[in-house]
Structure 1
């Protein structure tokens, strides 16, 4: 895929959705950190239901530490892997209090040092909370990047690196939101909705679905 076609793809995605953002509900970097940690192998809808009850009670590291691990589990037990997630969140809160003045750090190295925070989670926080141009490659972005030809790669990191290099700079900050939403609602895994896709004529997928 050439640069002109990539430019056209992101121009259309922007026109269709000028201000994309995460579908996780949050009102602070810390709330986003908790929500993204909970979202692994869970739906945003399920996470939002849990945090709608949790955050009014505890939305700071100190408040969650006060709840304790068992108390936290009561709020997140509807979410998959909640036991290990509760453990990681409590440990992360302790680190935030002890090492970061209860503030979510703004560097990848410091974020990835927090329990339960991997590269993808760090990328989401850096981008969505701190407006840094990062690419949090999940299954949706991996599929869309490969299927369309925007940035094909054999693994998540390869796709991330190619997207960072090939997405036009003007679109880089919002690109991962556009790609996630495109994969979630249009470029579906089993049967992409090619007939209602705003970039169908630019996409290089050879087996386009007929609606």
Structure 2
């Protein structure tokens, strides 16, 4: 996909959704950190159900430490891998209290030093909580970037670097959310909705023609 098509690609997504947001419910950088940590191999809907019960009771590192690991598990036991996630959240909260005065750090190195926080989670926090132009490449973004020809890459890191280089600067801050939502609801893995896609004419995926033909038959 050339530069002009990439600009048109994001212009159209921006026209449809001028102010895209994460579907995780949060009211502070710390709540977002917890929600994103819990979201690994889980749905945003499932995480939101758990944090809707948790956050009114404990939504600071100090309060979650007071719950303890077993106490935290009672609120998140409906989420997959809740045992290991509870352990990581408690350990992260301890570091936040002891080393960061209970505040979520605004730099990648400090974020990635927290248990349960990898590069993707750090990118989400930096972008969504702190407005930094990062690109958290999940399965949806990886698929969209490769399938459409927007920013092909064989690894998550390669796609991340390609997107940061190729996404036009005016769209970079929100590109993460646009691409996730596009992959989640339109450019789906098994049954992409090419007939409803606002950027199908820009897409480089050979299979789109077959999908469009099947939809019109």
Using the size of structure 1 for normalisation, the TM-score is 0.99
How far is 1:113 from its partner?
A: 0.3
The Cα offsets for residues 141-160 of structure 1, whole Å up to 9 and x where unpaired, read as: 00000000000000100000
Q: Tell me the equivalent position of 1:32.
A: 32
Q: Tell me the equivalent position of 2:6.
A: 6
In the alignment, the residues of structure 1 paired with residue 2 and residue 199 of structure 2 have an alpha-carbon distance, to the nearest angstrom, of: 15
Q: Tell me the equivalent position of 1:193.
A: 193
Q: Tell me the equivalent position of 1:78.
A: 78
Q: Tell me the equivalent position of 1:155.
A: 155
In the alignment, the residues of structure 2 paired with residue 203 and residue 13 of structure 1 have an alpha-carbon distance, to the nearest angstrom, of: 13
In the alignment, the residues of structure 1 paired with residue 206 and residue 168 of structure 2 have an alpha-carbon distance, to the nearest angstrom, of: 24
The Cα offsets for residues 109-167 of structure 1, whole Å up to 9 and x where unpaired, read as: 00000000000000000000000000000000000000000000001000000000000
- Helix, strand or coil at the partner of 1:180: helix
Structure 2: runs of 5 or more not aligned: none
- Helix, strand or coil at the partner of 1:111: helix
The Cα offsets for residues 52-107 of structure 1, whole Å up to 9 and x where unpaired, read as: 00000000000000000000000000000000000000000000000000000000
How far is 1:191 from its partner?
A: 1.2
C-alpha RMSD over aligned residues: 0.4
Say whether 1:16 aligns with 2:3.
no
Q: Tell me the equivalent position of 1:176.
A: 176
In the alignment, the residues of structure 2 paired with residue 140 and residue 60 of structure 1 have an alpha-carbon distance, to the nearest angstrom, of: 30
In the alignment, the residues of structure 1 paired with residue 126 and residue 200 of structure 2 have an alpha-carbon distance, to the nearest angstrom, of: 31
In the alignment, the residues of structure 2 paired with residue 12 and residue 196 of structure 1 have an alpha-carbon distance, to the nearest angstrom, of: 13
Answer with 31-40 or 198-207: which moved more: 198-207
The Cα offsets for residues 149-196 of structure 1, whole Å up to 9 and x where unpaired, read as: 000000100000000000000000000100000000000000100000
Structure 1: runs of 5 or more not aligned: none
How far is 1:21 from its partner?
A: 1.1
Say whether 1:104 aligns with 2:104.
yes
In the alignment, the residues of structure 2 paired with residue 19 and residue 180 of structure 1 have an alpha-carbon distance, to the nearest angstrom, of: 14
In the alignment, the residues of structure 1 paired with residue 18 and residue 204 of structure 2 have an alpha-carbon distance, to the nearest angstrom, of: 24
